[in-house]
Amino acid sequence: MSYNQNKRNTLLQEECAILEHIHLAGDQHILKLSAPEISAKALPGSFVHIDCGEQFTLRRPISIMRAVNGNIELLYKKLGSGTAALTTREIGESINLIGPIGKPFELHPKKSRPLLIGGGVGMPPMVFIADTIHNSIQSSSEYRPFVILGSEAPFPFTATPSQMMIPGIPDGVIGSMPLLEDWKIPNRLASLQGYAGTHNGYVTDLARHWLDSLEDEELAQVEIFSCGPHPMLEAVAKLATEYNLPCQVSLEEFMACGVGGCAGCVVQVETAEGPAMKRVCVDGPVFEAKSVFPNS
């Protein structure tokens, strides 16, 4: 997977018809949109800037969960007036999107054991990576991923008991995402809410169980990919440092323009030349974890 750093003429504005709008527990919602142009260019970690209605001056950034056959799927949570208005949109209506935006995750062929960790609305990019791997597996890829998803709200799917055994995972932790299970991608769930079949703890605790089960040769093949709340990402970065593993994280930030013009989403990042301010929307949202969390 490669990414063109020259961002000129890479963004599209597209009117997208709503194909499905699924409303789930915990004020979570999935939009399936017809977006052939954006879908064709989207990569794991890409997001769209969505017009929530004419009453809103600013758009809202939402990560792409899947890009399949000219359609995209977005998982979002109702958090404010913009996303509240979005929940009222119905099948057949159209929504204006700008995208795909941002620097995506990059899978490295020499790291065949990707560990994908998603929390809350940070789950969609992990599903997108898993989908990309699933499609490459059909072409004899060597990737052997493990996915950990965490949520303190009800998961945006009905967990199913996994039929795949995973070394190191505690007994009774069998809950999995049905879509990943269908793709034959090992995955487990973590939460502090006591959901059945779910690890009662943090995603990093569950990741540590798995990492400790690997032989040295297997551990050397691991690279971590993560998206979720800032405290979770910091904990994942510390985990990566503890095990001396490469790690990419996708940051969640408030954005105004979403295309790099307003610099309202800047974060400090460590570079070879020293600290620098980077825009999450276009310089990210994906960064090397050690550059964002240098003290981890």
Residue pointed to by tokens 């792409």: 64
- Encode pLDDT of 35-52 as tens digits: 999 999 999 999 999 999
The three-state (H, E, C) secondary structure of the chain, written as one string: CCCCCCCCCCCEEEEEEEEEEEEEHHHEEEEEEECHHHHHHCCCCCEEEECCCCCCCCCEEEEEEEEECCEEEEEEECCCHHHHHHCCCCCCCEEEEEEEECECCCCCCCCCEEEEEEEHHHHHHHHHHHHHHHHHHCCCCCCCCEEEEECCCCCCCCCEECCCCCCCCCCCCCEECHHHHHCCCCEEEEECCCCCCCEECCHHHHHHHHHHCCCHHHHCCEEEEEECCHHHHHHHHHHHHHCCCCEEEECCCCCCCCCCCCCCCEEEEEECCEEEEEECCCCCEEEEHHHHCCCC
Question: How far, in Å, CA of 228 to CA of 42, rounded?
Answer: 20
**Residue limits of CATH 3.40.50.80 in the chain:** 113-252
Residue pointed to by tokens 């194909």: 19
**Residue limits of CATH 2.40.30.10 in the chain:** 12-101
- Judged on CB neighbours under 10 Å (0-12, 13-18, 19+), 31 is buried
Identify the band that residue 139 occupies on the pLDDT scale cut at 50, 70 and 90.
Answer: very low
- Judged on CB neighbours under 10 Å (0-12, 13-18, 19+), 258 is buried
The CA-atom distances, in angstroms, between 217 and each of 113, 211, 247 are 11, 12, 18
Class of domain 12-101: mainly beta
| Tokens encoding 205 | 């605790």
| Tokens encoding 129 | 């990576």
What integer pLDDT is reported at residue 1 of this predicted model?
47
Bridge partners (DSSP) listed for residue 126: none
232: Cα separation from own chain's centroid? 13
- Encode pLDDT of 58-97 as tens digits: 999 999 999 999 999 999 999 999 999 999 999 999 999 9
Total Cβ atoms within 10 A of residue 272: 6
What integer pLDDT is reported at residue 234 of this predicted model?
96
User: What are the φ/ψ torsions at residue 172 (nearest 5 degrees)?
Assistant: 90, -15
- Encode pLDDT of 176-223 as tens digits: 999 999 999 999 999 999 999 999 999 999 999 999 999 999 999 999
Does pLDDT of 3 surpass 50? no
What integer pLDDT is reported at residue 204 of this predicted model?
98
Question: How far, in Å, CA of 173 to CA of 10, rounded?
Answer: 43
- CATH T-level fold of 113-252: Rossmann fold (3.40.50)
Residue pointed to by tokens 């990919």: 225
What integer pLDDT is reported at residue 137 of this predicted model?
53
Question: How far, in Å, CA of 204 to CA of 56, rounded?
Answer: 38
